[in-house]
């Protein structure tokens, strides 16, 4: 009976570890995609989606462009937000987080 408990406990721990690793991977990849996409659509003129992805220089450029054009440059953030949400998780991760592609 104790042998069965040990096997069960070992399997339960392995399953819990796999589950937590999967959650961590999903949180890192998917949430950045969703967050950047939604912020790009709603607040694209502020460049917040650029800062979320780690593109500080491009975020500042987006803010300046929006101020100079009285907000018309916000269409760039809106379009980028839609593009982010339409890409698959893997494609988004490889393009914008690994490949560091700052625009479109």
In the chain, the percentage of residues whose pLDDT exceeds 90 is 56
pLDDT in tens, 48-99: 999 999 999 999 999 999 999 999 999 999 999 999 999 998 899 889 888 8
* pTM for the full predicted model: 0.68
Give how far Cα 75 sits from Cα of 9, 41, 42, 81, Å.
Answer: 54, 9, 10, 10
Q: Is the pLDDT of residue 2 over 80?
A: no
In eight-state DSSP terms, residue 39 is H
Lowest mean pLDDT, pick from 2-6, 45-49, 59-63: 2-6
């Amino acid at each position: 009976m104790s042998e069965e408990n040990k096997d069960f406990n070992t399997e339960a721990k392995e399953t819990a570890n796999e589950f937590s690793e999967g959650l961590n991977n999903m949180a890192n990849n998917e949430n950045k995609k969703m967050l950047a996409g939604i912020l790009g659509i709603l607040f694209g003129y502020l460049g917040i989606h650029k800062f979320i992805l780690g593109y500080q220089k491009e975020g500042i450029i987006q803010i300046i462009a929006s101020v100079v054009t009285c907000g018309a440059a916000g269409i760039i953030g809106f379009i980028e937000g839609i593009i982010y949400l339409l890409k698959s998780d893997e494609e988004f991760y490889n393009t914008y987080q690994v490949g560091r592609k700052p625009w479109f």
